[in-house]
Amino acid sequence: MSTMTVMSQVLMNQVDSDLKSSGATIAQQTFNALAGTNVQVVPSPYYIYVQNAAGADWQYMSPSMQERYGTPKDVTVVFDGPPSNPITIPGTLDNSTWRAIYLPTVSEQFPAVAIAFPLNNVEHTKTQMMLILLLIATCVVALGALISYFIVQHALKPLRIIEHTTKQITQGDLSKRVPTENMGIEVGHLAGSINIMLGQIEAAMTARERSENKMRQFVSDASHELRTPLASVRGYAELYRMGGIGPDKVGQAMDRIESEARRMGGLVEDLLMLARLDESRPLNIAPANITDLAQSAILDFRARSSDYPVEVIGLFGDEPEDVIALVDRDKITQVVSNLLTNILQHTPKGTRVDIAVGTEQVRAVTGMVTMAVIEVRDHGPGIPPENREKVFERFYRVDTSRSRASGGSGLGLAIVSSIAAAHNGSANISETPGGGTTVSLNIPILQRNDHAGTYVSPSSPTSEDLEK
């Protein structure tokens, strides 16, 4: 619109300039025509109007131009204004306009002459320019829309890749990841965040699937373990009812029933213990001397069997020192008891046993942490390396035949691992130097506040922190 306004103003200024510059010449030619000389010298596009002093007027325009452009309706209105001041007046033809000006003369007979010029060409030029501008604008808009389309398509390409990847993920393929190359900064950051989220989702789904598999295996194994003693009790009861057990065998049958019931009760207690630990129930936490707990466990062990030489030593073979840690005394005692029970069941008599107690520094995410360490070391036959990583699994036995001649349900070390995790610690198994098996328990130790004379629990690392 502004372009048309400027162009219209320029064209109108050009017409006004032509009228003013040609006015004197046209006036002189008009006077010559009135004097009887050749009137053909008057410029044909112009309309000439002369008014004499007596009030008579004279006007001239080429007949061919008049037929083409018509004439001004009332050119005399130009005399109402100052001289040399162009104005626009309507023409006799429809939608025609003229630009008119009057100039004073030195003639007393003809004091002024009015000159008008048709604006048809100007209007035609304006119309043509308007069409050209509309065409250019249309082309520019179309080209802009086309360029914008390709720009938007290029900008949305990474998002479509993300959409395609997420569709594949919704169909169950959690291993898919959004490519981050050539994605741009913002979309690249978005793709990276999505990949992190997908990794977490995949890890969560994998963990859930693993947990479900473990639960199914746990239920299956628990059912199997409970079925055996129940079948024994039921078998002896039915045999007695059918008269298959004589009076002299009743005592032996009752002993077997009692033994199986006791073993079933122990299995149920172990299962309940694991269930409570899985629920993360609060422990009865209190400061305890780990060395004293180990000494007490040795006394109980010696009461059960005197065939195994056992003693408490320092972590590096020196004299044991007091190690204070914030623990559940009963749970730690059960850990040591379970480990000693395994030694009774799986090592030959005379096997030397050491319970090593001490502290060590462990690097965690939060920094260096002091850990209380309990190691139960036996010098027996040991466990094959391929089985060590699995011994903390529930119902796992190194002897795949599931023989119960040695007792045990495969839950002892699983309980040890769960109790360690409940204390923000960890349980590990390794080979004893010289042969045998070493099971170690690592628990964050207390820090003593010398000013208050109390123990303060440090910022304990989780088992995941210790693994890192």
- Give alpha helix (H) positions in 182-288: 185-241, 250-278
Residue-level pLDDT at 27: 66
Residue-level pLDDT at 450: 43
Residue-level pLDDT at 106: 67
> Which band of pLDDT confidence, cut at 50, 70 and 90, is reported for residue 375?
very high
347 shares its domain with 216: no
Domain for residue 137, yes or no?
A: no
In terms of Cβ atoms closer than 10 Å to its own Cβ (0-12, 13-18, 19+), residue 396 is middle
How far CA 19 is from CA of 22, 53, 97, 284, in Å, comes to 5, 23, 15, 112
Single residue among 118, 134, 150 that ends a domain in this structure: 118
Q: Tell me the β-bridge partners of 370.
A: 361
76-90, 268-282, 287-301: lowest mean pLDDT where? 268-282
| Length of the chain in terms of residues written | 468
Average pLDDT, the chain: 80
pLDDT at 145 over 90: yes
Domain for residue 140, yes or no?
A: no
| Total of domains in the chain | 3
Asked whether 131 and 3 are in contact (CB, 8 A), the reply is: no
3-state SS class at 216: helix
> Which band of pLDDT confidence, cut at 50, 70 and 90, is reported for residue 54?
low
3-29 pLDDT, tens digit each: 778 877 888 888 888 887 776 677 667
Span 156-163, mean pLDDT? 80
Asked whether 115 and 47 are in contact (CB, 8 A), the reply is: yes
CATH code, 234? 1.10.287.130
Tell me the two tokens of residue 379. 């010098």
> Which band of pLDDT confidence, cut at 50, 70 and 90, is reported for residue 30?
low
Residue-level pLDDT at 293: 92
Residue-level pLDDT at 361: 85
330 shares its domain with 274: no
Residue-level pLDDT at 451: 41
277 shares its domain with 287: no
Asked whether 408 and 454 are in contact (CB, 8 A), the reply is: no
291 shares its domain with 265: no
- C-alpha dihedral sign at 69, 70, 76, 80: negative
277 shares its domain with 289: no
Span 304-325, mean pLDDT? 89
- Write out the residue range of the structural domain in which residue 209 sits: 174-281
> Which band of pLDDT confidence, cut at 50, 70 and 90, is reported for residue 357?
very high
Residue-level pLDDT at 36: 60
Which of the two residues, 346 and 215, has the higher pLDDT score?
346
Alpha-carbon span 231 to 172, nearest angstrom: 44
